[in-house]
Amino acid sequence: MNENADWIKDWKTQEKGRRKEYKKLVGQLKRKSAKILTELADDVHHNTFEKYDCLDCANCCTSIPPQLNRTDVNRISKHLGMKSSDFRDQYTRQDEDGDTVMNATPCPFLNKDHTCQIYENRPRACREYPHTHAAQFAQQLDLHLVNARHCPAVFHILERFGELLKEGI
């Protein structure tokens, strides 16, 4: 079994049991300096994604409809050769928070091999996911609790931050 498969298996078997622990961890991280978290997050994120390949999972694409802003809609519709209004009608909906999101999961642009048909034009939310790099880590601490349910990389990043706290960061 490859390392990615092991990471995904660990996430699937352990994530649910760690939710309370992660809530406590996020509370501890909130008390740390944003500057320190940013520096550490940059390293932890980079090290995680050197080892982990999202194409082995794509759970984000199969379980979380991404938010789309006006720029995303215009860029994607242009790429697809559609009017923005037609793209909105065919591919988007308003979620419970009033945000524009893709209207289907899995994402209609997800290929069977987990690649993305619109990768170069994908929404900003997809470009930035899972929000664990540099400054986004400290700014999105509460979101990591949710994303750990969908993303094995976030799970392992939180695991690493738990180890760092034990080491005295």
Q: Per the structure block, which two tokens stand in for 75?
A: 């860029």
- pLDDT at site 50: 92
Domain extents in the chain: 17-60+130-166, 67-128
In this prediction, residue 136 carries a pLDDT of: 86
pTM over 0.85? The answer is yes
User: Rounded mean pLDDT of 120-140?
Assistant: 93
Q: For residues 102 and 112, give the distance between their C-alpha atoms in angstroms, rounded to a whole number.
A: 18
d(CA 130, CA 118): 18
Question: What pLDDT digit, counting tens, does each position of 39-60 carry?
Answer: 999 999 999 999 889 999 999 9
Say how far apart CA 101 and CA 94 lie, in whole Å.
6
Q: Give the mean pLDDT of the chain.
A: 94
Bridge partners for 37 per DSSP: none
- CA atoms of 32 and 27, how far apart (whole Å): 9
pLDDT tens for each residue of 99-116: 999 999 999 999 999 999
Q: What is the pLDDT of residue 5?
A: 83
Beta-bridged to residue 101, according to DSSP, are 67, 93
What percentage of residues in the chain have a pLDDT greater than 70? 99
Q: Are 60 and 155 in contact (CB under 8 A)?
A: no
